[in-house]
Amino acid sequence: MEISSSGIWWLPEKPDDKLSGQLTYQLGNRAILSLNGMFDEKVEFHEIILGNIDDHKITLVNCMRVSWTKIQAGTGDSSSSKFSLIAICKGHHFLKKDDLLFNTISVRYSHLRQWLAATVGGGEKERAYLKERDPYLKLAIEKSLIINFSPEISIEIKGFLERESHFYYSPYNQETEVLFHLKSQKLNAVLENVDIFRNFLSICIDEKIAIVSIEAQEEYGTIQLILPSILKPSNGKDRIFFIPEPIERFLFIKNAKLFLENWFLLVKKYESMYQLFFSDNFEQLYITTRFLNYAQAMEAYHARKYESRFFPDNIREIIDEFTNFSKIINIVFAKSLRSAILRKFEFLNRKSLRMILKDFFKDFKDFFSIFIRDKSDFIDLFVKTRNYYTHYNPTAKEPSYKQIIVLTENARFILLSIFLKEIGLSEQDIKAAIYRYCRSRVREIKSL
């Protein structure tokens, strides 16, 4: 649904030069400010544009001019301009981007209510069973779960385990409010933390969780943060009904601090693996793109976690001492090829994808055996498929659609196993979670 509002707009440094214009945005898409006029035809980018819409203070962030027109007519000149922008702050005027500092952020995530909530109806036996399994369960209507896992950030899940006797939540009303208590974080850092937590939750329940809304709750009032490209409407109908979820509610409650500490550390330590894995989580990429992303994610993790080199980094200098390797290269090859040959030699010091997969199977054999029947066949097909798309060979055989689907899902499960181990789950809990992941995808694969 597109939202469009008219208002008055100006630059912080020129509060008297005001223009009328229309702000239009759609969740999942970009926002556009259409002005009846132009601030300065020589300036294409403004960090901040201020405005008023129906007595609401508006701050627009990172505004890039995408078009402008200037018409000369007999009655005078007229002009118009359009800006694409990243964020809309409703409720306050920030004079510069550095002023966007926040301490308390309220985020509504989709799909969580059914995972976090529990009913206590059904009689005394069920209530006793629930209380025995989960010491946090009380018969109160509402409870918050506060997780202090970092000096800079703590998370409070509002309405945690909200319940009423003999009441079951509708699967289509699953939004849950989460408060982030921060220490004056800038907007980019806020959004990063919100997204990292969203991805952690998606690992827990195996769902593509949407960020439905974001608000800053500060001393000067509540600021609604509208980020059209990030926010998406909640759609509980997308939910796949497989219960229990990979990481059960009780396990999360018991280990929330440990899991989140490890998760945020993982994102920093293995950022490239993290980015590659989640790059397709909220957009439907081509299956080959997903497969190649997962293959690269494995290589990125292995390079940081394992010893990915056969020899010391200075092996070329060592060989040079005995063989004059560089001198031979200079004699045999043309000048234009020498640097490329030397780089190729250094590349040979890295383990191949086949070796990387074998290393993983040594450490994760018990987990991988849940979804991979034959290790050798899988590794061989995986490497040949990756090479088919990245290293041209006219004799190579194109994998079937079913093969690429199965390989991609198995690659996903491999990376999920790695994530779960890095988060801090026990071997028993990882096995149980992998079984549940597989259950949630088995129908899709078998239907091919």
DSSP structure string for 222-278: EEEEE-TTT-----GGG----SS-SS-HHHHHHHHHHHHHHHHHHHHHTHHHHHHHH
Secondary structure of residue 153 in the 3-state scheme: strand
Lowest mean pLDDT among 42-46, 85-89, 315-319, 363-367: 315-319
**Backbone angles phi and psi of 151, in degrees to 5:** -60, -25
Residue 332 scores a pLDDT above 70: no
Distance CA 392, CA 399 (A): 14
Minimal CA–CA distance to 160: which of 116, 209, 105?
A: 116
The pLDDT score that the predictor gives to residue 301 is: 95
Residue 173 scores a pLDDT above 60: no
Q: Mean pLDDT, to the nearest integer, of 301-311?
A: 77
Distance CA 304, CA 300 (A): 7
The pLDDT score that the predictor gives to residue 338 is: 62
Dihedral sign for Cα atoms in the order 87, 93, 95, 100: negative
Q: Mean pLDDT, to the nearest integer, of 177-199?
A: 92
C-alpha of 213 from chain center: 16
Share of the chain above pLDDT 90, in %: 49
The pLDDT score that the predictor gives to residue 198 is: 93
The pLDDT score that the predictor gives to residue 34 is: 95
The pLDDT score that the predictor gives to residue 229 is: 82
**Domains delineated in the chain:** 2-96 (2.40.10), 100-255 (no CATH), 287-308+351-446 (no CATH), 315-347 (no CATH)
Q: Evaluate if pTM is beyond 0.85.
A: no
Higher per-residue confidence, 253 vs 372: 372
Work out the angle at residue 192's Cα, subtended by the Cα atoms of residues 188 and 198, and round it to the nearest 5 degrees.
Answer: 145
Residue 131 scores a pLDDT above 60: no
pLDDT band of residue 121 (cuts 50, 70, 90) is: very low
> What is the DSSP annotation of 64-114?
EEEEEEEEEETTEEEEEEEEEEEEEEES---SSGGG-EEEEEEEEESS-HH
Give the tokens for residue 176: 């849950």
Minimal CA–CA distance to 419: which of 192, 209, 264, 296?
A: 264
Lowest mean pLDDT among 1-10, 135-144, 178-187, 297-306: 135-144
Q: Mean pLDDT, to the nearest integer, of 143-153?
A: 84
**Backbone angles phi and psi of 176, in degrees to 5:** -135, 135
Residue 299 scores a pLDDT above 50: yes
Residue 239 scores a pLDDT above 80: no
Residue 176 scores a pLDDT above 90: no
Lowest mean pLDDT among 49-53, 127-131, 248-252: 127-131
Lowest mean pLDDT among 174-178, 242-246, 377-381: 242-246
Alpha-carbon Rg for the chain in angstroms: 27
Residue 171 scores a pLDDT above 50: no
Distance CA 439, CA 75 (A): 71
The pLDDT score that the predictor gives to residue 199 is: 94
Alpha carbon distances (Å) from 68 to 83, 85, 86: 9, 15, 19
